[in-house]
């Protein structure tokens, strides 16, 4: 379970200060798939960084399994990410000159998994994304979709409890994107792992159990959560499925109008 309490992040100082995240509160039950939706610059990536401990907001708590990771020492957060979390990025970030094996084994090396156990884990992860035959191939020989599948294999090889996907299908066409999405949701379902997808793709967001819409650093609407997981002041933002699109459009219009 991930509890996000009053997370606030400011960039810059004094009159130049920019509120990237403004008092964000919600709770993600273990095994849920959550979409964080918003336009670029809305603060959705900042929120993901805060939940994963990559960024440290000055105010608020991110409590994962009873521990506030924002007050942990850097080494503990690193160890936490190495053993419990993983990431998938829009631009894959795979090492093209290395073999698929060497790409996938990286998190195991970082987590200090004994050498004897690595091969089996890498093979299992590659099998899960149907890239078993590419194990000795250089990553640069793969197609775009295969590269993202390789990134998924790298993300799931150490069996993380929380998987972050930042625009995982942003660089893929809809067919290959669909395949990649299936691999992600399958992993979450099979392992009861929490999947947090950051996207502006409504279709992908709809496949998730819950949706959090971020506008200008604030939660504009939340869908799919039980009321008990929310703070009282956010309960009014809890919408029924289908309602949130209307609201999103409305806020976007307001946002655009303000910008123009």
Partner 1 sequence: MKISDTIRRAGRSLRQAKARTLLTSLAIGVGAFTITLSLAGGQGGREYTDAIVKANTDVNEISLTKKVPVTTSIQEYSPDAAGMTTDGFGGSLPTITNKDIEDMLKIDGVESVTPNYAPSVNYITAEGKKKFVATISTFSPSVTLDFKAGSVSGNLKDDEIILTEDYVEVLGFANAADAVGKKIEINATKLSTTFAAQPETKDFVYTVKGVSDASGLAFRSQGSLLISSDAAKEMYTYINEGTSAYGQFFLAAVRVKDASQAEAIKTILNDKGYDAQTAADVLGTVNTFINVLLGILLGFGALAVLTSVFGIINTQYISVLERTQQIGLMKALGMSARDVGRLFKFEAAWVGFLGGAIGSGLAFIVGTIANPFITDALKLGNIYLLKFDPIQIAIVVIGLMLISVAAGIFPARKASRLDPIEALRTE
Contact positions toward partner 1, by CB under 8 A?
49, 52, 54-55, 74-75, 78-83, 85-87, 89-91, 93, 95, 97-98, 102, 106-107, 109-112
Q: CB of residue 28 vs partner 1: minimum separation in angstroms?
A: 19
Q: Are 132 and 124 in contact (CB under 8 A)?
A: no
Q: CB of residue 260 vs partner 1: minimum separation in angstroms?
A: 26
H helix or E strand, kind and range, residue 184: helix 174-191
Q: Whose Cβ is closer to partner 1: residue 168's or residue 224's?
A: 168
- Interatomic CA distance for residues 212 and 4, integer angstroms: 12
Angle at 42 between CA 36 and CA 47, to 5 degrees: 50
Q: Whose Cβ is closer to partner 1: residue 15's or residue 40's?
A: 40
Q: Whose Cβ is closer to partner 1: residue 59's or residue 106's?
A: 106
Place of tokens 């805060």: 50
Q: Whose Cβ is closer to partner 1: residue 177's or residue 224's?
A: 177
Q: Are 241 and 224 in contact (CB under 8 A)?
A: yes
Burial 95-128 (b: 16+ CB within 10 A, else e): beeebbbbbbbbbbeeeebeeeebeebbbebbeb
Q: CB of residue 170 vs partner 1: minimum separation in angstroms?
A: 8
Q: CB of residue 102 vs partner 1: minimum separation in angstroms?
A: 7
Q: CB of residue 84 vs partner 1: minimum separation in angstroms?
A: 9
Q: Whose Cβ is closer to partner 1: residue 16's or residue 97's?
A: 97
Place of tokens 């959550």: 34
């Amino acid at each position: 379970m991930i509890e996000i309490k009053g997370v606030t992040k400011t960039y810059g100082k004094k009159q130049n200060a920019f509120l990237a995240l403004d008092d964000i509160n919600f709770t993600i039950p273990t095994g849920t798939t959550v979409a964080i939706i918003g336009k670029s610059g809305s603060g959705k990536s900042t929120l993901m960084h805060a939940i994963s401990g990559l960024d440290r907001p000055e105010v608020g708590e991110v409590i994962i399994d009873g521990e506030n990771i924002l007050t942990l020492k850097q080494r503990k957060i690193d160890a936490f990410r190495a053993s419990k979390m993983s990431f998938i990025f829009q631009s894959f970030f795979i090492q093209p000159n290395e073999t698929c094996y060497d790409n996938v084994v990286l998190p195991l090396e970082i987590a200090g998994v004994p050498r004897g156990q690595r091969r089996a884990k890498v093979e299992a992860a590659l099998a899960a994304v149907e890239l078993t035959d590419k194990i000795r191939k250089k990553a640069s020989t793969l197609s775009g979709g295969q590269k993202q599948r390789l990134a998924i294999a790298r993300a799931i090889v150490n069996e993380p409890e929380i998987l972050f996907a930042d625009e995982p299908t942003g660089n893929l066409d809809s067919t290959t994107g669909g395949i990649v999405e299936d691999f992600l949701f399958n992993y979450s379902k099979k392992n009861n792992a929490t999947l947090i997808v950051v996207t502006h793709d409504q279709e992908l967001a709809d496949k998730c159990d819950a949706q959090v819409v971020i506008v200008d650093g604030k939660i504009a609407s939340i869908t799919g959560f039980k009321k008990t997981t929310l703070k009282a002041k956010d309960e009014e933002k809890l919408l029924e499925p289908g309602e949130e699109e209307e609201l999103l459009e409305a806020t976007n219009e307001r946002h655009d109008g303000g910008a123009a």
